C-alpha cells in the first residue's frame, strides 16, 4: 500500500535535510504532500541559493520538475490552504515530518495551536494517532525547548534532532545529510539504501 507522507519545511537551518527527504520519499514510491513556511523560503535561499516559489501552484511545478514527480505523487499546499486534505481528520496523511523544525513550530505543536496549515496538519496527526516526526535544528536547547520536546515525546511524537554519526566514515556533506534522512525514513518504515546498516555484512 502506498503511503502518503506530509513533509513540512520551516525556517530552521537544515534545508538540505528536508529536500533530500522529499527526494527519497518520491524515489521510494510514496505520495508526498509538501508544505513550507515563508521563512523556509529565506533559509532555502541562504543555505542553497534556491528560490522556492511563494505560490503553491508555482511550487508544485518547481518540485515536480526538480524531482520528476507526477501530480499523483506530489502535491504542494499553501500555508492558508484550509481545504487541503491534511487539514482534516477525515483525510490525514499516514505520517508527517517537520524537517527542519523551528523551536517556534515545535512549541506551537506542543501547545495545540493551528494558526497555519503546518500546525493544523501536525495537530491532525496527533489527534488521529498518525506518526509525527519533528527534526528540531537548534543548539543549544533551552530548558523550554527541552520541556516542549518532552511534552511531545509523551504524546508519541518522535523527536529526531539531525545529529549525524561518523562511524560510517562520511566523505562529504551529502553523506552527513543522508545519515539523518536515513533515520527519518526508518521511522516512517520506508525502505532505502542510503547507508550500510550497523553490523551488516559489507558487500
Mean residue pLDDT across the chain: 96
In this predicted structure, what is the pLDDT of residue 82? 96
pLDDT at 201: 62
Q: What CATH number has the domain bearing residue 81?
A: 3.40.50.1950
Positions in the chain short of pLDDT 70: 201-203
Contact 101, 133 (CB under 8 A): no
The verdict on whether residue 167 carries a ligand-binding annotation is: yes
Q: Is 11 annotated as a binding residue?
A: yes
Work out the burial of residue 193: count CB atoms within 10 Å of its CB; fewer than 13 is exposed, 13-18 middle, 19 or more buried: exposed
Quick check: is 170 in a domain? yes
Q: Count of domains in the chain?
A: 1
Residue 193 lies in a domain: no
Contacts of 142 (CB under 8 A, 6+ apart): none
Task: Cite the beta strand spans of the chain per DSSP E.
Answer: 4-9, 31-36, 74-76, 95-101, 131-136, 158-159
- Does residue 142 form part of some domain? yes
Q: Given this model, what pLDDT does residue 202 score?
A: 57
- Is 183 annotated in a binding site? The answer is yes
Is 30 part of any known ligand binding site? no
pLDDT number for residue 118: 98
Domain assignment present for 203: no
pTM above 0.75, yes or no: yes
Is 201 within a domain?
no
Answer whether residue 50 is part of any domain: yes
Is 13 annotated in some ligand binding site? Answer: yes
67 labelled as ligand-binding? no
Task: Please tell me whether 96 is known to bind a ligand.
Answer: no
Determine whether the annotation assigns residue 165 to a binding site: no
Specify the DSSP class assigned to residue 79. T
Domain interval for residue 53? 4-188
Amino acid at each position: 500500500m502506498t503511503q502518503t507522507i506530509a513533509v513540512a519545511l520551516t525556517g530552521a537551518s537544515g534545508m538540505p535535510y528536508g529536500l533530500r527527504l522529499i527526494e527519497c520519499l518520491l524515489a521510494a514510491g510514496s505520495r508526498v504532500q509538501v508544505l513550507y513556511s515563508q521563512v523556509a523560503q529565506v533559509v532555502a535561499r541562504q543555505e542553497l541559493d534556491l528560490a522556492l516559489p511563494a505560490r503553491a501552484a508555482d511550487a508544485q511545478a518547481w518540485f515536480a520538475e526538480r524531482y520528476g514527480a507526477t501530480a499523483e505523487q506530489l502535491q504542494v499546499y499553501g500555508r492558508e490552504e484550509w481545504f487541503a486534505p491534511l487539514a482534516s481528520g477525515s483525510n490525514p496523511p499516514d505520517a508527517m515530518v517537520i524537517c527542519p523544525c523551528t523551536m517556534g513550530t515545535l512549541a506551537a505543536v506542543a501547545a495545540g495551536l493551528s494558526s497555519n496549515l503546518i500546525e493544523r496538519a501536525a495537530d491532525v496527526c496527533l489527534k488521529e494517532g498518525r506518526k509525527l516526526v519533528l527534526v528540531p535544528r537548534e543548539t543549544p536547547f533551552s530548558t523550554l525547548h527541552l520541556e516542549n520536546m518532552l511534552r511531545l515525546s509523551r504524546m508519541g511524537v518522535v523527536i529526531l534532532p539531525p545529529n549525524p554519526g561518523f562511524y560510517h566514515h562520511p566523505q562529504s556533506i551529502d553523506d552527513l545529510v543522508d545519515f539523518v534522512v536515513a533515520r527519518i525514513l526508518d521511522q516512517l518504515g520506508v525502505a532505502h539504501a542510503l547507508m550500510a546498516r550497523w553490523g551488516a555484512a559489507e558487500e
